[in-house]
Amino acid sequence: MPYLTTADGAEIFYKDWGTGQPIIFSHGWPLNSDAWDVEMKLAADNGFRAIAHDRRGHGRSTSTYTGNDMDTYAADLAALVDALNLTDIILVGHSTGGGEVVRFAAQHGAGRVVKIATAGAVPPVMVKSDTNPEGTPIEVFDSIRAGVLADRSQFYQDLSAQFFGTNREGSTISQGQRDQFWRQGMQVGLAAAYDCVKAFSETDFTEDLKALDVPIFIAQGADDQIVPIDDAAMKSINLVKNGTLKVYPGAPHGIAGSYQQELDKDLLEFWLS
């Protein structure tokens, strides 16, 4: 299995499928690169080189105690791009991964990144503050940290309902899909799972979004119970120079079911355009 060793010694696992223009996929919390397998196959089947990594502390990458912050995540991605000598890059990020690709593109991707797509992404900033009064109260994120510490196995099982919207009438998401979320969550190191909550909720990506000058496709489900759309996609689209927004009626945060089918069609169209 391919690994990259970062400057601080962390080993980052990655998948590398197909040939052609590279598309890098960045996963959400508490998942890993397996979350993107369907989209990676879609990309590779259509003439692209699909690459996805397990963020440090997640999946098969080193279970790190330090470096579980957005600047380090972006630096790790930059190290992977350097190691593979990638150019003409398309970035795709979900949730926390949306923040990671936005920061990478703004701070490391000049001249290399040509397109960005995000889905249910955390930018511009999630937590409520004096400058972001519409944000999510810090107590919500404190409760996530408490759940991770107290009984993360049960916490991930419970969280999967909101993640995929199975608590909504008419949901067709399977128990297997929820089990897959739990399986990936249980592969995250405790320190990384805990610290990443701060990374995805308190990092301010406003200036990163403003700095982007490449086309960016911003997608989000209208019924996202994890990242509130009014404080995410609806704000981000007004901060980027060359953005397209698509809202999926009734769709949840997790990419699955009919939402995944529709989103994947739109992603492929964006990649090929």
Arithmetic mean of pLDDT, 183-212 = 98
pLDDT in tens, 93-121: 999 999 999 999 999 999 999 999 999 99
At 248, list the tokens. Answer: 């999926």
Write down the pTM of the prediction: 0.97
Arithmetic mean of pLDDT, 241-262 = 98
Task: Please indicate whether residue 224 is annotated as part of the active site.
Answer: yes
Q: What are phi and psi of 125, to 5 degrees?
A: -165, 140
Cα dihedral 196→200→205→208 (10° resolution): 60
pLDDT in tens, 7-19: 999 999 999 999 9
pLDDT in tens, 207-218: 999 999 999 999
Q: Is 154 exposed, middle or buried (0-12, 13-18, 19+ CB in 10 A)?
A: exposed
Predicted pLDDT of residue 252: 98
> pLDDT tier at 1 (50, 70, 90 boundaries)?
low
Predicted pLDDT of residue 152: 97
> pLDDT tier at 46 (50, 70, 90 boundaries)?
very high
Q: Which residues pair with 218 in a beta bridge?
A: 118, 245
Integer CA distances (angstroms), 233 to 118, 201, 238, in order: 9, 15, 9
Selected catalytic residue, list 195, 208, 224, 231 = 224
Q: Which residues pair with 248 in a beta bridge?
A: 221
pLDDT in tens, 104-163: 999 999 999 999 999 999 999 999 999 999 999 999 999 999 999 999 999 999 999 999
For residue 214, the tally of other CB atoms under 10 A from its CB is 18
Predicted pLDDT of residue 249: 98
Selected catalytic residue, list 26, 61, 95, 160 = 95
At 113, list the tokens. Answer: 């990144």
CA gap 248, 260 in Å, rounded: 10
For residue 8, the tally of other CB atoms under 10 A from its CB is 13
Task: Please indicate whether residue 58 is annotated as part of the active site.
Answer: no
- Domains of the chain listed by start with CATH number: 3-272 (3.40.50.1820)
Integer CA distances (angstroms), 167 to 92, 104, 171, 224, 248, in order: 27, 34, 7, 12, 18
Q: Which residues pair with 127 in a beta bridge?
A: 136
Task: Please indicate whether residue 95 is annotated as part of the active site.
Answer: yes
Alpha carbons within 13 A on the beta-carbon side of 194:
15
Integer CA distances (angstroms), 182 to 153, 169, 264, in order: 7, 22, 23
Percent above pLDDT 70 for the chain = 100
> pLDDT tier at 164 (50, 70, 90 boundaries)?
very high
